[in-house]
């Protein structure tokens, strides 16, 4: 299954919709970071939610969903770009059994919040909205975000299994209602869709089953893929920000500095020659040991 998001609108009602199915990108996240089943399923739902959210925005940049709390899972971070790049990471207490699939956000994160951050690439201000993590699920939290931060009536359905994550969003847009019953009708019809169907059927079949009596306009699909923007240059900048004294002390203690990206697990290795070059303002002459990336 390829990873795509489809946008559609109701021609005679102020309603827009989105449907996303993620397989390859979701599997790539799980391949790079083994997670307990319940957390893996939640990560899939969060990736689908991130794709739905970024598609509602008209900007070039990055959107993040960051879950934090004092529960057994301390952090779940999803980052999705307007170009379709997706990545995810999580941090949890490996000595504590985690909740299984279907658990509430509070069971995973305890007392905490979901921060939804929008970072435009070229222009515009960074924006962040916060949602409390109560006794509900992720779909309800996203609906609450739109209700409280955007003042838009929104319905969200999210699901994942071992192979695929999927989501659907309906949003009532401001303006005159050509069909005043359309919003309630669309929600009731979508509630008849099973989560297995949302994951397994293609978009055309889902929309035909739900809205065959409605007049829809379906737009070209948007592709999504796993993408991590880590690089040796970015890691070098982090080391520089830590200061020469601390880095040289760490190098003396360990003999080599090794770090791994928390998203893609790529390894970066800095030996004494690399650190000397990093902190030297003078051109480095003569043969150099090539940097190592695992």
Q: What are the pLDDT digits (tens) for 159-176?
A: 999 999 999 999 998 876
Q: What length does the chain have?
A: 294
Mean pLDDT of 183-201: 96
Q: State how far the Cα of 103 lies from the Cα of 96, in Å rounded to an integer.
A: 15
58: its two tokens: 């008209």
- For residue 279, name the pLDDT band (cuts at 50, 70, 90): confident
Between residues 33 and 228, the one the model is more confident about: 33
What pLDDT is stored for residue 286 in this prediction? 38
Tell me the mean pLDDT in the region 42-54: 97
pLDDT at 255: 77
Residue 107 or 281, more confident: 107
Task: Spell out the domain ranges in the chain.
Answer: 4-226, 232-293
The predicted model gives 239-267 an average pLDDT of 77
Residues 71-115 have pLDDT tens digits of 999 999 999 999 999 999 999 998 889 999 989 999 999 999 999
Spatial separation of the C-alpha atoms in residues 83 and 207, rounded to whole Å? 25
Q: Would you place residue 184 in the very low, low, confident or very high pLDDT band (cuts 50, 70, 90)?
A: very high
According to DSSP, the residues that pair with 222 across neighbouring strands are 5
Give the CATH number of domain 232-293; options: 3.90.1280.10, 3.40.50.1000, 3.40.50.150, 3.10.580.10. Answer: 3.90.1280.10
- Top-confidence residue, 186 or 237: 186
pLDDT band per the 50, 70, 90 thresholds, residue 67: very high
Query: Tokens 């035909």, residue?
Result: 208
Q: Per-residue confidence at 294, pLDDT binned at 50, 70, 90? A: very low
CA pseudo-torsion sign 174, 176, 177, 178: negative
Query: What's residue 1's pLDDT?
Result: 52
Averaged pLDDT of the chain: 87
**Model confidence pLDDT, tens digit, residues 230-246:** 667 777 777 787 888 88
For residue 44, what pLDDT is reported? 97
Q: Where are the beta strands (DSSP E) in 151-249?
A: 154-160, 165-172, 216-218, 222-223, 225-226
Closest CA to 44 of 166, 156, 172, 140: 166
Q: What is the CA radius of gyration of the chain?
A: 22
Are 288 and 273 a contacting pair, CB within 8 Å?
yes
Res. 24: pLDDT tops 80: yes
Higher pLDDT, 124 or 43: 43
DSSP per residue over 233-263, as a string? HHHHHHHHHH-HHHHHHHHHHHSSEEEE-TT
- Per CATH, the number for 4-226 is 3.55.30.10
Average pLDDT on 4-20 reads: 95
pLDDT (0 to 100) of residue 275:
78
């Amino acid at each position: 299954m390829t990873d795509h998001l489809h946008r559609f609108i109701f021609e005679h009602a102020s309603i827009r919709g989105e449907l996303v199915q993620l397989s390859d990108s979701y599997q790539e996240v799980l391949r790079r970071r083994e997670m307990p089943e319940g957390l893996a399923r939640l990560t899939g739902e969060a990736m689908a939610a991130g794709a739905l959210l970024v598609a509602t925005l008209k900007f070039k940049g990055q959107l993040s969903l960051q879950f934090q709390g004092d529960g057994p899972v301390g952090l779940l971070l999803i980052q999705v770009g307007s170009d379709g790049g997706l990545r995810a990471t999580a941090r949890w207490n490996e000595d504590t059994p985690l909740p299984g699939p279907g658990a509430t956000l509070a069971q995973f994160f305890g007392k905490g919040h979901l921060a939804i951050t929008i970072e435009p690439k070229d222009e515009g201000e960074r924006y962040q909205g916060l949602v409390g993590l109560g006794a509900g699920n992720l779909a309800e939290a996203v609906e609450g975000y739109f209700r409280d931060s955007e003042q838009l009536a929104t319905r969200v359905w999210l699901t994942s299994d071992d192979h695929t994550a999927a989501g659907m969003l309906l949003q009532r847009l401001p303006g005159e209602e050509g069909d005043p019953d359309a919003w309630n009708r669309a929600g009731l019809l979508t509630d008849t869709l099973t989560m297995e169907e949302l994951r397994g059927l293609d978009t055309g079949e889902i929309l035909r089953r739900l809205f065959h009596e409605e007049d829809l306009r379906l737009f070209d699909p948007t592709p999504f893929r796993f993408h991590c923007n880590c690089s040796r240059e970015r890691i070098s900048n982090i080391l520089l920000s830590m200061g020469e004294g601390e880095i040289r002390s760490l190098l003396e203690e360990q003999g080599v500095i090794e770090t791994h990206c928390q998203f893609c697990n790529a390894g970066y290795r800095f030996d004494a020659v690399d650190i000397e070059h990093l902190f030297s303002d003078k051109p480095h002459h003569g043969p150099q040991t090539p940097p190592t990336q695992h």
